[in-house]
Each structure stands twice: as C-alpha cells, then as structure tokens.
Structure 1
C-alpha cells in the first residue's frame, strides 16, 4: 500500500480527534447546553446534520485507503477545504480552547491538502 494513503488516513484520524476533543471540552467546560445548538433549541434535523458533519473525517479514513489515487487526491482536497470553510463560518467560538482547537484543525486540514496535492501516485493495478 502506498504510504501516502496511510499518512492521509492518519491526518483524518487526527482531525477527527481534534473535533472530538473540542466537543468533550465544551461539555466539561459548561459551554454546551444540553438540547441546544448555537443558543437555540435544536430540532432533530440539526442533530442529524451535526452527526453527518462529524462523520466526514471518519468516512475519509476509509476513503483514503480504498478509493483509486486520482479521484482520492481531489476528493481529499475538496472535502478538506469544505471543512475549513464550514469551521470558519462558526468563528469565533466562546472558549479560547475551542478557537485554539479550530486553528489546530485548520493545520491538519492544510497538512492533508498539502500531502494530497504533493502526492505523485504510481500507476495502480
């Protein structure tokens, strides 16, 4: 297996853990109010949307290991850039820790994009 695929999968794992850490810290800090998203009562579709967004890095782990190289390169760039735009739309967050973690998430997104764009995959069988 091409080691770049493993690096990409590792980048997605790291990003997923940063997102998870932010959620856990938000709960323990008291910045999250149960049943509410963005200071308003959350409908079930909002929880579904939140779950789907959190599934993106998880799905990209598998995609990084299974999709052919050429489409994977561009899927990775597009999905990672979309996550950056999504996270930028929520800035600034209440807690300093949250803003720091989003910047760390941006760094992982940048790393994933850089690795994908620099990748020169050998012909796959």
Structure 2
C-alpha cells in the first residue's frame, strides 16, 4: 500500500483517538473537574483549536504535498504530538485518558517510522 495513504489513515486514527478522549472526558465530568474554575480566554481556545486542527490537516497535507515535504511534515508533526502528550500525560487524572494518550503516542511513533523510511 502507498505510504501516503497509510500516513493519512494514521492521522485519521490519531484524530479520532483525540476526539474520543474529549467525548469521554465531557461525558464523565472530568472536563469540568480538570478546568475547575479556570476561565480560558479566547486566545487559549484559539490555541487549542489550532493545535487540534494539525492532525486533521495532516490527513490532507500528507496526500497533496510533494513527498519530501510531506515526509518531514509528518516527522515533525508526529514528533511534536509525541512530546506534547508525553509532557502532558501526568496532568490527566483518569486512567482512560492516560491509556488513549499512550495509544496515540504509539501511532505517533508509527507515523515517524513510516515517514522516516518513506523513499520517493
């Protein structure tokens, strides 16, 4: 199978894992407990929106960017999300969150492996 298709599908899986975690967090009441009395401003919500848009856009960019650019975009984005989630992992109190983040981090490593070995 074509590497760009595999990478696009992986980004779709990562996006769904993030969304699934958000849905469970909202339904369980953990979102309210995690944010507490913190009132996020518009700039924080914009930052969250941009952050969560990256994996969604990677689905598209992986398919349309030239191979060398797509390869490095995948490595950089997956590496960023791996480190970001690794650093944030201890801040999540729920076991399901830690599990889903760990699964997404495995997919980040798989993305890096596929992109690293992707030859033109």
Question: TM-score, normalization: structure 1?
Answer: 0.89
Q: Deviations over 1:37-56 (max 9, x none)?
A: 47621111111111111100
Cα RMSD (Å)? 1.7
Take 1:105 and 1:38, find their aligned partners in 2: how far apart are those partners?
A: 26
Take 1:39 and 1:86, find their aligned partners in 2: how far apart are those partners?
A: 24
Aligned: 1:80 with 2:78? yes
Query: How do 1:1-125 residues align onto structure 2 when only pairs under 5 Å count?
Result: 3-33=2-32, 37=35, 40-92=38-90, 93-121=92-120
* Number of aligned residue pairs: 119
Extract structure 1 runs of 4+ deviating beyond 6 A. Answer: none
Shift of 1:6: 0.4
Question: TM-score, normalization: structure 2?
Answer: 0.92
- Which runs of 5 or more structure 2 residues have no equivalent in the other structure? none
